[in-house]
Amino acid sequence: MATFVLVPGGWKGSWSYEAVVPLLERAGHAVHALTLTGLRPDDEETAVASANLDTHADDVLRHLDRHHLTDVTLVGHSYAGMVISAVADRADGRISRLVHLDAFVPRDGESWWSSTNDYFRSVAAAGAADTGYSIRPPDGGDPRRRRHPLASFLQAARLTGKVAQVPRREFVYCSGWEGRTPFAGLRARLLADPDWLVHELPTGHDAMHEAPQAVAALLLGEGAAGVAA
């Protein structure tokens, strides 16, 4: 039995994995889908205003501690690639597999802001104009999305290099939104890195809702073959 910890991307909560969780559980695995500080329905404005990347990494680390989790497959979508990298760097060997699901893979000193493209920087800047500390969700999409803490997008990842000791590291490139994706350059970088396995899904960014069975199959090692460099 594997243990999956699923971390949502910007503006989203644990519900973003709602179609994938039962597929993993049906296969006999333990699944923990998280919602990060500032993105829970009952979070006060002070939590939204103060949460940053360290806060979100600490959320995940506390969950690992509370549930005594080891040998974890840690999955992060989009922004959560920043989070799971920070967690793996600090988790003292408790992470056995990282899956960046159309997600950022930061190097030390990089942030969401420095890693994304001009389109999403403009979305973030416009979305934070009214509060200065939180970003409203982009137009359209699931109505359950919430304002995202701006500081978590701006804070640089502080990585010691321990994340590179995770035995299995994977990146999933969603190719169905080629014109807007900020991950094309990252895909090329990781394809050239023998320590990474790169997969491809022919979906838009929200693969968990567009193709939950394909995402579950990939996490279970049953689909999305690695892409050759």
pLDDT tens-digit readout, 107-137: 999 999 999 999 999 999 999 999 999 999 9
Is 225 a member of any domain? no
Is 146 a member of any domain? yes
Is 226 a member of any domain? no
Parent domain of 51: 3-219
Tens of pLDDT, residues 30-87:
999 999 999 999 999 999 999 999 999 999 999 999 999 999 999 999 999 999 999 9
Is 92 a member of any domain? yes
Is 228 a member of any domain? no
pLDDT classification of 202: cutoffs 50, 70, 90:
very high
Is 227 a member of any domain? no
- Is residue 227 scored above 90 in pLDDT? no
Q: What is the pLDDT of residue 222?
A: 81
Please state, for a pLDDT cut of 90, what percent of the chain lies above it.
Answer: 95
Is 41 a member of any domain? yes
- 64 contacts: CB under 8 Å, gap ≥ 6: 5, 72, 87, 91, 94
Tens of pLDDT, residues 85-98:
999 999 999 999 99
CATH number at residue 172: 3.40.50.1820
Closest by CA to 219, choosing from 228, 207, 227, is 207
Is 33 a member of any domain? yes
Q: What is the pLDDT of residue 224?
A: 52
| Dihedral Cα 220, 221, 227, 229, nearest 10 deg | 120
Average pLDDT over residues 134-159: 96
* Domains in the chain, number: 1
